[in-house]
Amino acid sequence: MKKALITGGSGFLGKALRHYLIEQGYEVFTFDTSYGNNTKDHLRGSVIQYADVESAVFGMDVVFHLAGLLGTTELLTQNLEAVDVNIKGTLNVLEACLRHGVKTIFYPTKPNEWLNTYSITKRAGEEFAQMYASLHKLDIRILRWLNAYGPGQKAYPIRKAVPVMIIQALAGVDIEVWGTGNQPVDLIFSQDLARNTVLYTLKEKGDAMVRDTGNSIRMTVNERAEMIQTMANSRARIKHLPMRLGENQAQPVQLLPSPTAADLLGLTASTTALEDGMSATIEYYARLSTQAHEAVLTFYYGRRAA
């Protein structure tokens, strides 16, 4: 049985990828710092420690490198840590894979050119991955992950718009929109993203060109907030706030020229309907306990649900 490693595999999208890799017949291992000890299919370690990475990639057939420090505004005061994890960590993965003959590596990159710590470090990781593909003939697959949403996404400590908006709507507090809300976002259901990522990476022939994942649906931030408000049957108001530091509504994401991963896989028509995906996502958060909702509200506002 072939083996796959997911760095950062205990996270929202790592769990989704794991499901599809198992469907493809892989034995799947996760690697991150989330658990106290190694288990049968989880290797505990940090991507900034080369020895940990080398031990984790040994014997693997494919590596999905998802581990990283996330956030836009959140990382503006964590520049050194972000460089270590997002750049040095990526180099550690590339070097270890090169040394131990892991030929296929997936790297998710950032879709915007905003001037913030996360975008800068992800661009650097992307370019290092392409350099290793060119110089060392590693089989690198790179996709831009747009605005993933779905059941199970954490609302904090990194602010994710969909879960936060849903919890705000369910709690009846203001649904916060940063900026005018006219800026476009491209939503992709987590299961679509995971499926496309796995199948694209496992394709027999590929290259290190940066492509969009496909199966995304474009709407404005205002439309997203209004949709959540309506589908959650919420009386919460929509409140506009100034843009967060490190984000730029005047510089929206521009989609790349086709083909997307979905195009190459013949999955263009396999987009989860936004109403279906959002309904499943709202239902997930509605089932969470009052304490879970209160924890989110307390984290952001120092207040509890009414």
- Report the pLDDT value the prediction gives residue 299, as an integer from 0 to 100: 93
Q: Is residue 259 part of a domain?
A: no
What is the pLDDT at residue 303?
52
Q: How far is residue 16 from each of residues 20, 30, 113, 132, 182, measured CA to CA in Å?
A: 7, 12, 26, 27, 30
- Output the domain CATH number for residue 155: 3.90.25.10
Give domain status of residue 177, yes or no: yes
Q: Distances from the Cα of 53 to the Cαs of 56, 94, 244, 260, in angstroms? A: 5, 10, 34, 30
Over residues 236-249, the mean pLDDT reads 93
Please give the pLDDT value at position 248: 87
pLDDT bracket for residue 304 (50, 70, 90): very low
* Of the ranges 93-102, 107-116, 247-256, the best mean pLDDT one: 93-102
Give the end of a domain, one of 108, 129, 144: 144
Rounded mean pLDDT of 135-139? Answer: 96
Whether pLDDT at 41 is above 90: no
Whether residues 155 and 120 fall in one domain: no
Q: Kindly state whether residues 60 and 157 are assigned to the same domain.
A: no
Which CATH number belongs to the domain containing residue 111 in this structure? 3.40.50.720
Nearest to 33 by CA among 67, 72, 74, 76: 67
Between β-strands 139-144 and 175-178, what pairing exists: parallel, antiparallel or unpaired? unpaired
Q: Which residues contact 130 (CB under 8 A, 6 or more apart)?
A: 140, 142, 208
Other CB atoms within 10 Å distance of the CB of residue 221? 23
For all residues of the chain together, what is the average pLDDT?
94
Sequence-separated (6 or more) residues with CB below 8 Å from residue 137? none
Tell me if 142 sits within 8 A of 110, measured CB to CB. Answer: no
166 and 20 share one domain: no
Q: Are residues 39 and 74 in the same domain?
A: yes
Q: Is 140 left (phi over 0), alpha (psi -120 to 50) or beta?
A: beta
Does 82 lie in the same domain as 56? Answer: yes
Query: Which pTM was predicted?
Result: 0.94
Task: Give me the domain span that covers residue 289.
Answer: 147-188+216-253+271-306
- Of 90, 123, 144, the residue at which a domain comes to its end is 144
pLDDT at 194: 98
